[in-house]
Structures are given as C-alpha cells and as structure tokens.
A and B are shown apart, each in its own frame.
Chain A
Amino acid sequence: MSRALTVATLFPLATVAAADEANASALARRGAARDLSVETVTVDRADSFVDADVYLVGGTGRGGVAALVEALTSTDLAARVSDGAVLLAVDAGLDAVARSWVDPAGARHQGLGLAPVSIHSAPEVTGTVVTRPDASLDLPALIGWEANDLRTVREDGARALFTLEVGSGNRTEDALGGTTEGVLAGSILGTRLHGPLLALNPELADLVLARATQRSEPWPALESPAVERARRERIAEVRRESPKADWRSRLPGPVAARLRR
C-alpha cells in the first residue's frame, strides 16, 4: 500500500540561488523507491501555500532573508510544523526560521522562531564538508557544501544535525570538542549545507521521509550505486586536500585562536 506525501518548496526566488531545489525531486525519487508517492509543489506566493508533509526552504546569502521571513510569516508554516510536518531549512532558510538572525550590516532581526537557534556574524568559510557517520540517525558519512559568514548557536539543549569530519559547521564550542553542524529539533532539520544535499545523500532523504511518515524502525537497505560512487570520490578528494588533522585544532580554544592570528 502506497502512501502519498506532499513536498512543498517554499519561496525559492526570494533568496540567492544555492542549487538546493533538486532536494524536492530527490525526495520524490527516494520516496518512489520506498513505496511512497511523493507530489512536489513550489509555493511562490503566500496565497498558494499548501498543506504539505515536508517543507523545504533554502537559498543562500542574507540579502533575501528579510523577504523570506515576511513571506513565511504570512503562511501557516508554523502551525503545520507544530502539527508535525517536517521542515528542512537550509542556509538562508535556516536564518529565516531561526529565533534571530543578523543582516550583513550586523543588525539583529527576529526570525520565525521555529528552529531553536540564534545566528551571529563570523568570518567567512567556504568549502566541501564531510560529516561523521551517525548510527542514531542511520546516516553514513555525507557530503555537503558550506559558504557563509555565520555562527549558529543552538538553544534549549537542541541537538546538532551532524558532527563533521571536515568543515567548519556551526562554529560554536561543543562540550565534547567536536565540530557540530546544524540543528535537529523535533521535525525541524536546519543546516548550512546547501546545494542538492538530499540528491547527493539519499540516506538523508530517507531520514526526512521517515520523520514525515512517523516511521520509527529503520528503512530496509537500498543502494543507489551511482550516487554513492560520486560521493565516495568527493569524500576521497576532500580527505586528500584537507590538511591532515590540523594540530592547532587539538589545542585549547584561546591558545588556538592566538596562534591563528
């Protein structure tokens, strides 16, 4: 018996394109393989907002965040999410649904407050990210991209979505000294990793689909050899090019900061 899901991409034109619109078709593809029939919808205006099981909001840069907040505020997104709809908020989308965010001039603004994070300015980082496998979420090592000048502070003890092997992530101190990335709180997944994240990492698409269908047991194994090979090659490339576990990163924070200067 096939279950029907609606995936809505919200206001993709409000922000700078981050190549993350392929996430919707990735959910449809993975859903089909999981016997779910996924309908994808793009919402461009508040009055075309739909009741969906998964909402995708993304884009990059801070120029469009104010417009995105305004557009999202006039929808039922908050109510839908509190009813259990899944929200994947990427980069500019994460700013918009955060409790507060900063514009390029450094001024602080309120976000929708759906994700328990606040956003702060930080030096710019760009590059390819490799996550560590996470058995609790049934995720292998994933690949993604980051390009931002922001620090993401989790609040209310919310857990991070990922820990990173390579990359800068949230840029907040973690109790265990690991590099964390994004936030996972209830049905909200927030991340800076933009681009076709779910297309590159079908297991993350599985996680979104599992949350959307309230599935608690793991999905049966499902290989997608072409995508897995592309990811394997990227991860190998990143490991080759990233400096061998930077010795500075093992020093206490203040010492490392002084040395970096």
Chain B
Amino acid sequence: MSDARDPLRARLALATGRSAGRLSQALGKGSGSMIGGRLALRVDPQVLRAVAGDRRSVLVTGTNGKSTVTALVAAAITPGGAVVSNTTGANMTDGIVTALSADRTSGLAALEVDEVYLEPVARGTRPKAVVVLNSSREYTRGVSLRSTLEHWRRTAAALPDDCVAIVNVDDPLVSWAFETAPHRIGVSGGLYWRGDALICPACGSVQDFTDDSWSCPGCRRSRPEPDWKVVPDGNGWAVEHAGERTRIEVTVPGRTGPVGGAFALAAADALGVDVAEAAERVSAVADVDGRYAPYRLGDHAARLLMLKNPAGWAEAIDVAVSTDRPLVVAVDPFGPKDTATMWEAPFQRLAGERVAVTGGRTADAVAILDAAGADVVEAPDIESAVRAHAPGEVMVACNYPAFRRISKQFRGGTH
C-alpha cells in the first residue's frame, strides 16, 4: 500500500512491486513475498525507509532460531499496539519491504533479518531494538563467519542513538560484534555450538570456557553480566531481570523456548511495554509456523524441530538428551549436499539410544547415526517412526523439506 506522504519515487516503486507480487501469485510462482520487494527496491533503493516510516521496529537476527524468536517478540510487544511482522520467513531486504508495504498502519514491527542483510535493513528501518541470538558458520552462501562478524560490528557502530542492542552474552562472537553498539543489553541465551567460538574474534587467543561463561586470556574480554537470565522455576521456567522474576510458559521444548522468551521480554521492555503483560502474551504463543505445537498420533505426541546446520542439530540433540525424550530424525532430499553438515553434529551423544529414521535420505541418516553408535531403526513413514518409540512425547528433528512435508501432513490430518 502506498501512502500519500511517500516520495513519488517510493510510490512508483511500491506500485511496481505490488503488481509484480500479484502477478507472481496469479501465475502460481509463489507467495509473491520476494519478487514484489525486489522490484520495488530496484526502482527505489530507499523504499525500505519509506515503508518503515516512523514505526518502532525490533530486528531479530542470528544464525539459528530467528523465526521462533521473531514470533515471540511480535507477541511480547502487542500490548504496545498493532504489530507487523514478516511471518513468511522472507527475511532479506526485499521480503521485509514486501511485509512492511502490505501493512502501512501498524505502529510496531517485529522483523526477522537474515544475518547478512542486517546493515541495509538497520539503515532502512532505524530500529529501536536489535536482538542478536547467536553466530555460527553457515554453509550455503560462501560467506565466512569472519566477514559476517565484521559486518555486524560495522552495523552496530552505526545504530541510531536510541536503539538498544539486545545480545546473547553467552556467545563470545556476538558479544564482540556488538561491543560497538551505542547501548547494549545482555541476555544469557546459552551457547549450543562452541566449535566456532573457540578463538577470540578480537585477539585470536583460545578462549577459556566454563559451563556457563567464557573469558579470553589474551585480551581479557569476558562474558558481560547478563541483564536478563533464564532460571528454572518449579517445573517450568522464569526470566530474571532487575531483581524481578517473571514466569513464562512456552511450548517450545528445552531451553530454546524460555531463552527466546527472555529475548522477547527484553525487547518489549526496550519498547516500554510492561514486562508482566509481555510475558502473558509470550506464554499465549502456542505454535510458530507449525514448529512446536505437539501433534497427536494416538498415544504419542510429536513435536517438530527444523534444523539447517550443525549448531541447529546440536541444539535438537541437546533438547532430546536434556528432556529425556526419544528422537526421530526425518530428512528429505534437497540437493547434493543436503545431509553433509549432519556429519559434524554431535550425534555421539545419542550413542546406545534408539533413534528412528525416516524420509527420502534415510540411507544417509542411518549411516550418520550408525557411525555415532546410535541404535538406529528405519521407518517407512513418519507415523511408524514416531511409533517406534514408547508412547509419550517424541521429538521429530527434520531438515527443511522434511519439515515442510511432515507439518503439512500433520496439519491436514490429526492436528
């Protein structure tokens, strides 16, 4: 939608983008969420600034968990007014232009941002808060971790004075990259994948890690004291901040849920939303794009996780081990190297445990789990994979295409 206050060029850009998006939908080429924004940006590179306008935005970036935390942030800030969010997961500049141009009235925005696009999106939206979850290497675009961290550091230094960087202080890479931000708030967000953070990004020394902290013997950097911390609370979780303890209920299993909740509460607080009210909204989020709500299969309940890199698999394995839930691994084909990074995930933590495997890449998953010493059971379909375990809750760890297929199947059927 255009707005009469938009510069002429931005209006033209948006009109072009809109018709391309409709055309793309009409031709059945997709949701139209990228092409529209892409063309609008071609006509006017400043169009993001026009569609962002003066709304108050929270950006969420990191390597893993962006969609989930963006959904929790969107919920947490609703007491502050209507919220627009790029819920389709189109998280590069073009997708964000499309999302913001489709809703020009909401005064708040919760935006998932691809880690490589943080700089242009931050420049265009002039956010009030930037949430930074974690950082590990990514395997598909040929971008080195080092260049992403340097890009973040540049971006952090150029953030507006009234913007708060809400960063995971348990991740030394994130902590370093956002040192340059005008305001920084720390969340203890955990570190599932130490492998990429062994070396201090500032001085190249090998970092010292303890169970819940890190420090660098070379340049004496250490984990900043977090302002927001997740703590066990009875049989659930709470978030501690400024001496107050706020209970949150999240369906997302393991520590992932409460940690995402802590980021969301910190973002709400940065926007002046009452934390207790924000916690109620976060607790009401039952599901994020079909990922976490349990699907019932007779006496079993299946929770889906979608993983894309060793850090993601490490987290899924951690959830299964720490919550003592059995695991199903579901992987489908999506290209030559579709299962390559799974060889680096710490499946040896499941040695001796029964793991059921299903999907079009069953042979690969069996080889990987067999090498890790797991007790592997093959299943012809997802139902039998889940039923290969005793009744109760089962974690289903999927790669992207298996996740799309299985969540669609479950939604159409037994949900």
Contact = CB atoms under 8 A, between A and B. Distances in A.
Interface stretch (B96-104, B226-234, B338-346): B338-346
Contacts of B367: 226-227, 229-230
B371 A13 contact: no
A199 to B, nearest CB: 5
A56 to B, nearest CB: 13
B337 A19 contact: yes
Nearest to A60: B142
Interface in B244-294: none
B370 interface: yes
Contacts of A48: 206
Contacts of A226: 363, 366-367, 370-371, 376
Interface residues of A, number: 32
A113 interface: no
Contacts of B205: 45
A33 to B, nearest CB: 11
B198 interface: yes
Contacts of A126: 336
A51 interface: no
B336 A128 contact: yes
A22 B336 contact: no
A77 B364 CA distance: 34
Nearest to B376: A226
Given A17-B139, A145-B340, A227 B371 contact: yes
A42 B197 CA distance: 13
Contacts of A29: 371
Interface string A153-179: 000000000000000000000000000
Nearest to B341: A19
B106 interface: no
Contacts of A60: 142
B366 A17 contact: no
B144 A15 contact: yes
Contact of B364 (A15, A19, A64, A230): A230
Interface in A177-196: 195-196
B339 to A, nearest CB: 8
B204 interface: yes
A33 B55 CA distance: 62
Interface in B347-372: 363-364, 366-367, 370-371
A64 B144 contact: yes
9 contacts: A13-B137, A19-B337, A19-B344, A22-B343, A22-B344, A29-B371, A128-B336, A196-B343, A226-B367
**Lowest 4 CB-CB distances: which A-B pairs, in order?**
A22-B343, A196-B343, A17-B137, A226-B370
